[in-house]
Amino acid sequence: MPYEAPTHTVERSLRATTGAKTVAGIDEVGRGAWAGPVTVCAAVTGLRRPPQGLTDSKLLTPKRRGELAAVLHEWVTCHALGHASPEEIDDLGMTEALRLAAVRALEALPVVPDAVILDGKHNYLGGPWRVRTVIKGDQSCVSVAAASVLAKVRRDAMMAELGATAAEYTPFAFDDNAGYPSPVHRAALEEWGPTPHHRMSWSYLDALPRWRHLKKTRILADTAASEDGVQLGLDF
């Protein structure tokens, strides 16, 4: 499927209007999963020509994502990843968990960005960061698209590694679904119940009569998101 290549338009605009010299693009993955962390990547790319085929990770095949991620590791100026665990998601809600993961990623960068481009329309990051939100930024902005690919490939690998750590995780097929809803995942939940890596405040438990008593009640309400469901490659 053809798609329009991302550009540095927003990055150039931020430089021109705010005087920012270092701009980081941010994207997340794992928001709608039933299991595993939410992962955020912060990527600084400068204004160089991006690798051919770079776009939103969701538009790429797993094979192509992996190939691009390998190139991006060497191409980006720097990048870092931050994660928020299922327990943190349950305790804080998704909006605050996203902020926590994003701050971890930004603070792990070897440089402090002067401005941040955040994919989407909601600024879940807030101060003290200077933030520009861009709807579909993972398709239109080079730095956000790079962050999208790097975050997706890393989290998918983490979930595949998790699925291989113990035989009791095999039925959940984390290597295939990365913790997202799927028929196999749902069937495993019905049979075996949630693992320690599942989000226990998520509404999928309402549809599991044998296990719904395990559902956690979130104390801090999350009003912004429903339960849906660098060369330095620092990874926290």
Q: What share of the chain is helix, strand, coil (3-state, %, to 5)?
A: 45, 15, 40
Task: Provide, rounded to the nearest whole percent, the portion of the chain with pLDDT above 70.
Answer: 92
Instruction: Provide long-range contacts, Cβ within 8 A and 24+ apart, for 96-100.
Output: 96/220, 96/222, 97/38, 98/28, 98/31, 98/38, 98/40, 98/124, 98/225, 99/124, 99/125, 99/126
Q: Identify which has the larger pLDDT, 224 or 196.
A: 196
Average pLDDT over residues 62-77: 96
- Mean pLDDT over all residues of the chain? 91
* Position 228 pLDDT exceeds 50: no
Is 150:65 a contact under the CB 8 Å cutoff? no
Tokens at 76, concatenated = 């980006």
pLDDT of residue 138: 93
Lowest mean pLDDT among 164-168, 191-195, 232-236: 232-236
pLDDT of residue 3: 72
pTM here? 0.91
Is 97:86 a contact under the CB 8 Å cutoff? no
pLDDT tens digit sequence for 212-222: 999 998 765 44
pLDDT-derived band at 1 (thresholds 50, 70, 90) equals: low
pLDDT-derived band at 42 (thresholds 50, 70, 90) equals: very high
- List CB contacts of 77: < 8 A, sequence separation 6 or more: 44, 45, 46, 111, 230, 231
Average pLDDT over residues 176-184: 97
* Position 233 pLDDT exceeds 60: no
* Position 173 pLDDT exceeds 60: yes
H, E, C per residue of 65-100: HHHHHHHHHHHCCEEEEEEECHHHHHHHCHHHHHHH
Measure the CA–CA gap between 44 and 109, rounded to whole angstroms.
9
* Position 175 pLDDT exceeds 50: yes
Is 146:23 a contact under the CB 8 Å cutoff? no
pLDDT tens digit sequence for 129-151: 999 999 999 999 999 999 999 99
pLDDT of residue 227: 42
